[in-house]
A and B are shown apart, each in its own frame.
Chain A
Amino acid sequence: MNDLPLNGIRVLDLSWIIAGPTATRFLAMMGAEVIKVGSARRPDPSTGSPPFRAYNQSKSYCSLNISDPKGLELVKQLLVISDVVIENFAVGVIERLGLSYEVVSAQRPDIIMLSSSGTGHTGPDKDYVAYGSLLQHYTGWNSISGNPQGEPVPGGLWADPWVGMELAMVTAAALSSRALNGQGQYVDFSMAEALSAGIPGAILDYQMNGRVPELMGNRDELYAPHGVYHCVGNDRWVAIAVTNDDEWQSLCGVIQRPDLAEDTRFAGSDGRMKHRDELDASISQWTIRFDDYEAMRLLQTAGVPSGPSLDISRVFNESQLREGGYLKTIQMRDGESRDLPGLPWRFDGGQEPILTEAPVLGQHNEYVYQELLGLTEQEATRLVEEQVIY
């Protein structure tokens, strides 16, 4: 028992790879019982890797070959006792497996079924084969990032984790709706649309002004100075964003340039925008003498928005994430203890989110088949031998 918001909710997780498992990770940590269903026949691609251990924290994991008729029967029994089911197979696969919404809702009329795919489940391009990284290009998401006159940016790890959180959000909305009217839902989710919905400014700008966005690297349409500035050390930078006159005056104080503070050409954002090359050069003369964290400390103490440009190893070592409670130390099955990610929110005074190590395939078979579905040990053993529980 727990008093977390999703206490009492059971989620049957047929999803795999990144986005679906990321969604159910949110639900599991917030109190839902998430039963991940997988099979050695087609293992989840990240199995065994460190990322798998993040995507699948706090879940139970049973093995089941759902393409076997007996496996399908067991999934249906699990659906009867589930509130939510989520899948992210290619369009049409869940129906071919015999688990269309019609079938699923016949087992449990008020179930919430989430189906997530690259381009959604209707429309002429619904069968497009997709990876998240490519969808960022397809949807215009990458088109608004880059250095001036540069090529399209190739990277950015965004689609899958963004969709994962949005799927968790949609699940919570559907549960809230069910709490009022008792109705379930089938949810058709498009990863591509989730990304295109994230660039509203560019979409409206085109309609208003007939232009595609100008690429500006770290610079901004409204504010200056605004960028990253070289610090001591190879590839070390501090990001600084001045958004008003007070912050500008504070910055001039920190870099000991009263001449800039008094110069009327730089009063107001418009003036600073016009002279931003000159200002960037002046700021760099100061930052190059400091370590990136030291620069942040001096600037933040004076009220200037700033921070170092970190790679993921340095993010992992951030004191803010440990002292703020986002990273938590977990004792793991291999005897080691490791710091693993939590959730980006706190419910004040509420119970801490559930944070347990990711399971391995089949770890919770006994719980799922014998305790939940009431199979005898002999029945379960036979299904293992028949490669149904597999």
Chain B
Amino acid sequence: MLDVGQGISAPYCAKILAHMGAEVIKVEPPEGDEARRAGPFPGEVPNPETSGLFLALNVNKYGVTLDLASSGGAKAFKNLAANADIVIENPPPDSLEAHRLGYESLRSINPGLIFTSITPFGNRGPYKDYKATDLVLHHMSGHAQGLLGAVDDPDSNPPIRAGGHQAELVGGMAAATATLMALYRKRMTGNGSRIDISSFEAMVNQHISGLASSAYGRPAPPRDLKKVQEAASAGNVSAIGGILPCKDGYVAVSPREDVQWERWLGVLGNPEWATDDRYTTRDARQKNSPSLWKLLSEWSSNYSKTEIARWGQEQRIPCFAVNTVLDLLNDEHLAQREFFVELNHPVAGTLKYPGAAYRFSNTQLPLAARPAPLLGEHNRSILENLD
């Protein structure tokens, strides 16, 4: 697989395939992937070899640099593409088509090629030439609307995006899904594919439940706290659940079913207010969730997040500590599952990287094969053996 992508979406797709065992060659321009210039950096000192984002998105890949605008670079790229199963790109800034290395010209030398392109809006529709970033995609897809929950005054408290470039990751995951389906077909029939991914559609597709509700004429959920509470007292609210303050952070809990609620009251020590008519049925608890949440918060503030999570889970109530990244790195469950993968990089040193969410019974995934490549690290071993 040739990864011509820069930034996040296409490199993330290629990393997923590298985790699955594909031999991925990352093709960077001479100045390097733009992700090398994004942080986080150790000590906040920029260095193209120590960008945390770049290191995480490019593990398990080989790396070469090519100037695709030069005839030598284009020729070397064609030689690589002639023997590749998959090419992935995410223009802008660089598009293979602009260098006359687009799907049609590569297909003429490699008819079975799978060519995957990720762009903000795909090659279709009125916005096909529009630009979008992670921020814009969060807002246009409706995902920013729900993140803060209900707020007192929506007009002075705008929607926000989620952190961690999720819109770009979703574009990359969609690309990996479609590309692997195309690979299955290639192995069955020999046919290649040209795949066009719209990151906007990938974000929107994360909300098919809301789209279906819209198709049935349901209004969008309000952001205004007053309207949410009115809807709740009218019986139009979803199950109770949310976060409660603790001595050392927060705990997330949702004792929504009657049986869960009964057991949750046991955890609380069966407080007197529990027999109040406002809280005795599921319907009543949903209608009165604001006052109920206040009562629960008064209780939870006396304990630690891990205590409450343990008590809840012992009673089979969905209840979790709200974890920070430090909590994750110290988590015993993740450690036993070997979720984090330790890799030693010649410049960035030894770091723990998130691995994969899946284990295959009959295939050991090569999650720790090699750290992200240095800029041009494999120019000699790969490019000099071409022709």
Given contacts A135-B320, A341-B205, contact A53 B142 (CB under 8 A): no
Chain B minimum-CB-distance residue to A304:
B131
B64 beta carbon closer than 8 Å to chain A:
no
What are 14 A-to-B residue pairs whose CB atoms are below 8 Å? A7-B185, A51-B213, A127-B313, A161-B207, A162-B170, A188-B361, A228-B159, A237-B159, A321-B125, A324-B126, A325-B125, A345-B196, A346-B196, A348-B195
In A173-223, which residues have CB < 8 Å from any B CB?
173-177, 179-180, 183-194, 196-209, 212-213, 215-218, 220-222
Q: Mark A312-328, 1 if CB is under 8 A from B, else 0.
A: 11111011110111110
Least Cβ distance of B221 to chain A in Å?
8
Whether B196 and A348, one on each chain, are in contact in the complex, defined by CB atoms closer than 8 angstroms, is yes
Contact of A327 among B181, B182, B211 (CB under 8 A): B211
Q: Does B173 contact A (CB under 8 A)?
A: yes
B296 at the interface (CB under 8 A from A): no
Segment among A71-79, A163-171, A362-370, A382-390 that sits at the interface with chain B: A163-171
| Contact status A208-B198, CB under 8 Å | no
Q: Is the CB of B133 within 8 A of A305?
A: yes
Which residue of B211, B243, B319, B354 is within 8 Å of A54 (Cβ)?
B211
CB within 8 Å for A345 and B323 given contacts A176-B184, A190-B337, A307-B132: no
Verify A133–B213 contact, CB threshold 8 A.
Answer: no
Known: A187-B360, A340-B212. A204 touches B52 (CB 8 A): yes
Interface size class of A (residues with CB under 8 A): 35 or more
Q: Is B101 an interface residue (CB 8 A)?
A: no
The interface stretch among A91-99, A140-148, A371-379 is A140-148
Are B360 and A176 in contact, with the CB atoms below 8 A? no
Q: Is the CB of B357 within 8 A of A345?
A: no
Least CB separation from B41: chain A residue: A208
Q: Is the CB of B383 closer than 8 A to any CB of chain A?
A: no
Asked if A243 is an interface residue, CB under 8 A from chain B, the answer is yes
Q: Of the 9-residue stretches B25-33, B68-76, B249-257, B276-284, which lies at the interface with chain A? A: B249-257
Q: A172-B183, A179-B184, A309-B159 are in contact. Are A204 and B353 (CB under 8 A)?
A: yes
Contact A312:B142 (CB < 8 A) given known A158-B162, A340-B211, A344-B205: yes
Complex Cα spacing A5 to B211, Å: 26
Q: Which residue of B lies closest to A7 (CB)?
A: B185
Residue of A nearest to B179 (CB): A172
Residues on the A chain within 8 Å of B148, using CB: 146-147, 153-155
**Interface residues of B, Cβ cutoff 8 Å to A:** 16, 20, 38-44, 50, 52-53, 55-57, 103, 121-128, 130-149, 154-155, 158-166, 169-170, 173-178, 180-185, 187-188, 193-202, 204-216, 218-221, 223-224, 241-243, 250, 252-254, 313, 316-329, 332-334, 336-337, 339, 351-363
On whether the beta carbons of B358 and A188 are closer than 8 Å, the reply is yes
Q: A155-B148, A184-B362 are in contact. Are A53 and B159 (CB under 8 A)?
A: no
Nearest B residue to A25 via CB reads B208
Establish whether residues A54 and B180, one from each chain, have CB atoms under 8 Å apart when the complex forms: no
Q: Which residue of chain B lies nearest to A163 when distances are taken between CB atoms in the complex?
A: B357
Report Cα–Cα, A325/B200, bound state, in Å.
13
Q: Decide: B313 and A165 in contact? CB cutoff 8 A.
A: no
Interface assignment of A235: CB less than 8 Å from any CB of chain B: yes
A134/B160 in contact, CB under 8 A: no
Once the chains bind, are B135 and A123 in contact (CB under 8 Å)?
no
Which of B164, B201, B327, B360 meets A198, CB within 8 Å? B164
Selected from A5, A188, A309, A349, the residue in CB contact (under 8 A) with B181 is A5
Nearest B-chain residue to A221, judged by Cβ: B39
B212 touches A341 (CB 8 A): yes
Q: How far is the CB of A286 from chain B (nearest CB, A)?
A: 16
**Given A188-B359, A324-B201, A327-B211: A158 and B164 interface contact (C-beta under 8 Å):** no
B215 touching A305, Cβ below 8 Å: no
B208 with A55: CB separation less than 8 A: yes
Please indicate the chain A residues that have their CB under 8 angstroms from the CB of B317 in the complex: 129
CB of A221, distance to nearest CB on chain B (Å)? 6
Question: Does the CB pair B16–A169 fall under 8 Å?
Answer: yes
CB atoms of A204 and B351 under 8 A apart: yes
Question: With A and B bound together, what is the CA distance between A193 and B141 in angstroms?
Answer: 25
Known contacts A152-B250, A312-B142; is A134 also within 8 Å of B320 by CB?
yes
In the complex the two chains form, what is the Cα distance from A243 to B242 in whole Å?
Answer: 35
**Chain B residues whose CB sits within 8 angstroms of the CB of A61 once the complex forms:** none
A311 within 8 A of B: yes
Residue of A22, A155, A309 with most partner-chain B CB within 10 A: A309
The answer to whether A311 and B328 touch (CB under 8 A), given A51-B208, A207-B352, is no
* Chain A residues, CB < 8 A from B43: 208-209
Say yes or no: is A248 at the interface (Cβ < 8 Å to chain B).
no
B212 contacts A154, C-beta separation under 8 Å: no
Complex contact A144–B318 (CB within 8 A): no
* Residues of chain A with a CB closer than 8 A to B196's CB: 345-346, 348
Task: Name the distance in Å between B332's Cβ and chain A's nearest Cβ.
Answer: 6
CB of A139 closer than 8 Å to a CB of B? yes
Residue of A nearest to B224 (CB): A235
CA A123 to CA B357, docked complex, whole Å: 13
Q: Which of A193, A218, A343 has the most CB of B within 10 A?
A: A193
A38 within 8 Å of B (CB atoms): no
Bound form: Cα–Cα A349–B55 in Å: 36
Determine how close the nearest CB of chain B comes to the CB of A91; give it in whole angstroms: 12
Within 8 A of B (CB), among A1-57: 5-8, 18, 22, 25-26, 30, 50-51, 53-55
- Chain A residues, Cβ within 8 Å of B125: 319-321, 323-325
Contact A241 to B135, CB < 8 A, known contacts A172-B183, A198-B166: yes
Contact check, A134 vs B319: say whether CB atoms are below 8 A apart.
yes
Whether B357 pairs with A194 at a CB distance below 8 angstroms is: yes
Q: Is the CB of B195 within 8 A of A200?
A: no
A339 within 8 A of B: yes
Are B358 and A189 in touch, CB under 8 angstroms?
yes
Q: Which residue of A lies closest to B13 (CB)?
A: A169
User: How far apart are the CA atoms of A141 and B354 in the complex, in Å?
Assistant: 13
Given A123-B336, A208-B40, residue A347 in contact with residue B149 (CB < 8 A): no
Verify if A234 is at the interface (C-beta below 8 Å from B): yes
A228 to B160, CA, bound (A): 8
Q: Within 8 Å CB of B325, what residues of A?
A: 140, 143, 199, 202-203, 205-206, 212-213
CB atoms of B334 and A196 under 8 A apart = yes
Q: Are the C-beta atoms of A349 and B194 separated by less than 8 Å? A: yes
CB contact between B207 and one of A130, A157, A209, A303 (< 8 Å): that residue: A157
Q: Are A54 and B212 within 8 A (Cβ)?
A: yes
